[in-house]
Amino acid sequence: MIHPTTLLAAFDGSPVKAQLVHLNAVDIAVIAIYFAIVIYIGFYLKGSTNTSEEFFMAGREMTAWIAGLSFVSANLGSLELMGWAGSAYQYGILATHWYWIGAIPAMLFLGIVMMPFYYISRTHSVPGYLNLRFGEGTRGLSAICFAFMTVLMSGINMYSMAIVMKVVLGWDLNFSIWVSSITVALYVALGGLRSAIFNEVLQFLLIWLGALLIPILGLIECGGWNNLKTQIAHRMGTTDYMHLWSTTAHFRDNPMGIHWTGIVFGLGMVISFGYWTTDFLVVQRVLSANNLRSARMAPIIGAGFKMLVPFIVILPGLLALSVLPFHLVPQDVAVVTGQHSYNEVLPLMLVRYCGPGLLGLGVTALIAGFMSGMAGNVSAFATVWTYDIYGAFLNKKASDSHYVAMGRWCTFIGVLISVGTAYLVQHAASIMDYVQALFSFFIAPLFGTVILGMLWKRATKAGGFWGLLAGTGTAIGLWAWVRHDPGALRYVALSVDAKAMAEDMYRALWSWLVCVIVTIVVSYMTQPRPETELEGLVYGATKIPEEHDDHWYQKPIVWAGVIAATFIVLNIIFW
């Protein structure tokens, strides 16, 4: 959910300075072993991906744990980690909101409320659900937007990886782009979604093992959490860096320039619900679960791990405030002075504590994060293209093996488009801003369409289509308005003190509201579908299968309650 451009800006165009990390033979061996394993997994899984259900949906055989880890891992890319560690250095513990309120409630809502409808409808994708609920127009609109934005995002991810590898390791851009793209194309084309999921689970474990030493050793160096708080307060001259909510009563009281209403309603209710419940990249992982209970448990397990991620992302940023002997600076200053920028905080902390071997492990975790991000994008692209564009509009009656072949070719073509995008972005960085923005335009209104479709029987085909179109149009309009006249931000975010982060939150909120209002108004003006046609698609018209758990502690609702309670307690502790 972070804009990679925010981080990339820290690397792209930087003055020439020594690479941050020097690898030795042991580190290179650690990286090489990772590549060997992932390619082997691709070849190994090829034998079990013969049907479209196996290739695109991993045979719907994943356990709750595998689907859950893959679900959370699809969002745990290296740019996220490095970007948010930098944000923690810059803004303090406020950055944690993107991991807690910006994820946990939405993930629990997906597991408890929405998953039954996705799963019972046996849809292959989110556009597929929209087709069942609102018809082909809405499906086409969402599928085309999603497919092209996803493959472009993959290219941006690829370019981001190449830039970071160049700055951190001194690797050549072309080498990084081609090695990563060939590897990803091989293992996704061979093993399909199952291969992507396996690698996401590996990546998740690698990130934890590679990054967990930083907070452990950092806290030892600082002398514990209380000493860390004291040292940061002393160094920064304020205690604002260590509070989640108490500084958000006004835009100017906190370094992010955000207000609690934006965090709660924009981030917590619209952006995060839009991303975690309707972005097919993450939802596809849960759809691969082996039964409804696993499908409901997967996002809940994911939420539990997501809640822990600040320990390896936010805490290193805070520790850097205390232990680094020099100050990190914003990108524009770093370009002029050659100092390190905020976003280099994670590699800097890695180098500080990790010697040969451990350093290779940390770098492998970063590479794995980038590659699994690309694989996630490419596998989701292949699914949506094959099922929701090619199979829905271009060739409706092909054989199953034809669709599998199309999926494999799509993977290669998707990777090639990504490579092309990576080179395009290299020569015109502004393209990246537009692609990022386009992606965000679509997610918030899509959540409005999907949630009304699932929870409101009266929502009609025309209502869904025009609501989605109007919401997306609103997001584009607001974005263009602020881009043309930066002063317009005061109207969009409702305050003269609002900053860029607040713009994203309020733009999402308004576009979602417009989508919901237009959907409701148009639905009341048009004829609803008979209730019998909504069976399995809408709350109130669907009989949810009863789950027969042997013990109370096996019920998804119990674990969702535990996660929710922990979430509330953590927010109070760090208030």
Shortest Å distance, C-beta 357 to another protein: 4
Q: Is 106 in the site for another protein (CB under 8 A)?
A: no
- Per-residue contact track with another protein, 413 to 442, x per CB under 8 A? ------------------------------
- Which of 194-202, 437-445, 454-462, 554-562 is the region at the interface with another protein (rule: CB under 8 A)? 194-202
Torsion over CA: 228, 233, 235, 236 (sign): positive
Tell me if 302 sits within 8 A of 71, measured CB to CB.
yes
Angle at Cα 200 formed by Cα 59 and Cα 81, nearest 5°?
A: 150
Q: Is 9 in the site for another protein (CB under 8 A)?
A: no
Residue 284 CA to residue 275 CA, distance in Å, equals 12
Residue closest to 305 by CA, chosen among 134, 40, 35, 74: 74
Q: Is 345 in the site for another protein (CB under 8 A)?
A: no
Q: Closer to another protein at the Cβ: 360 or 471?
A: 360
Residue closest to 98 by CA, chosen among 288, 227, 244: 244
- Which of 26-34, 310-318, 387-395, 417-425 is the region at the interface with another protein (rule: CB under 8 A)? 26-34
Tokens encoding 304: 């539990």
- Per-residue contact track with another protein, 297 to 326, x per CB under 8 A? --------------------------x---
Question: Helix, strand or coil for residue 329?
Answer: strand
Question: Helix, strand or coil for residue 355?
Answer: coil
Shortest Å distance, C-beta 176 to another protein: 22
249's CB contacts (< 8 A; 6+ apart) are 259, 260
Place of tokens 């690829």: 158
Residue 407 CA to residue 398 CA, distance in Å, equals 13
- Which of 7-15, 279-287, 357-365, 500-508 is the region at the interface with another protein (rule: CB under 8 A)? 357-365
- Which of 4-12, 137-145, 168-176, 352-360 is the region at the interface with another protein (rule: CB under 8 A)? 352-360
Residue 418 CA to residue 428 CA, distance in Å, equals 15
User: Which of 354, 384, 459, 492 touches another protein by CB under 8 A?
Assistant: 354
Phi, psi torsion values for 548, nearest 5 degrees: -105, 85
Residue 503 CA to residue 492 CA, distance in Å, equals 7
Site for another protein in 200-239 (CB under 8 A): 201-202, 205, 209, 213, 217, 220-221
Binding residues for another protein, how many (CB under 8 A)?
Answer: 30
- Per-residue contact track with another protein, 375 to 404, x per CB under 8 A? ------------------------------
User: Which of 147, 303, 361, 560 touches another protein by CB under 8 A?
Assistant: 361
- Which of 107-115, 232-240, 347-355, 553-561 is the region at the interface with another protein (rule: CB under 8 A)? 347-355
Residue 56 CA to residue 131 CA, distance in Å, equals 18
User: Which of 13, 28, 29, 252 touches another protein by CB under 8 A?
Assistant: 29
Listed in order, strand segments (DSSP E) in 146-276 are: none
Integer-rounded Cα radius of gyration of the chain: 23
Q: Is 525 in the site for another protein (CB under 8 A)?
A: no
Site for another protein in 48-77 (CB under 8 A): 48, 66
Tell me if 448 sits within 8 A of 467, measured CB to CB.
yes
Residue 312 CA to residue 117 CA, distance in Å, equals 34
Shortest Å distance, C-beta 185 to another protein: 20
Shortest Å distance, C-beta 49 to another protein: 12
Q: Is 478 in the site for another protein (CB under 8 A)?
A: no
Tell me if 84 sits within 8 A of 97, measured CB to CB.
no
User: Which of 229, 243, 352, 499 touches another protein by CB under 8 A?
Assistant: 352
Q: Is 37 in the site for another protein (CB under 8 A)?
A: yes
Residue closest to 295 by CA, chosen among 446, 445, 123, 116: 116
Q: Is 444 in the site for another protein (CB under 8 A)?
A: no
Shortest Å distance, C-beta 72 to another protein: 15
Tokens encoding 216: 């452990």
DSSP 519: H
User: Which of 44, 245, 305, 491 touches another protein by CB under 8 A?
Assistant: 44
Tokens encoding 386: 């094959």
Q: Closer to another protein at the Cβ: 32 or 568?
A: 32
Q: Is 170 in the site for another protein (CB under 8 A)?
A: no
Residue 157 CA to residue 415 CA, distance in Å, equals 11
Q: Is 28 in the site for another protein (CB under 8 A)?
A: no
Q: Closer to another protein at the Cβ: 26 or 236?
A: 26
Q: Is 190 in the site for another protein (CB under 8 A)?
A: no
Residue 84 CA to residue 105 CA, distance in Å, equals 20
Phi, psi torsion values for 421, nearest 5 degrees: -60, -40
Shortest Å distance, C-beta 352 to another protein: 5
Torsion over CA: 435, 437, 438, 442 (sign): positive
Q: Is 32 in the site for another protein (CB under 8 A)?
A: no
Given the rule CB under 8 A, which residues bind another protein? 26, 29-30, 33-34, 37, 41, 44, 48, 66, 197-198, 201-202, 205, 209, 213, 217, 220-221, 323, 351-358, 361
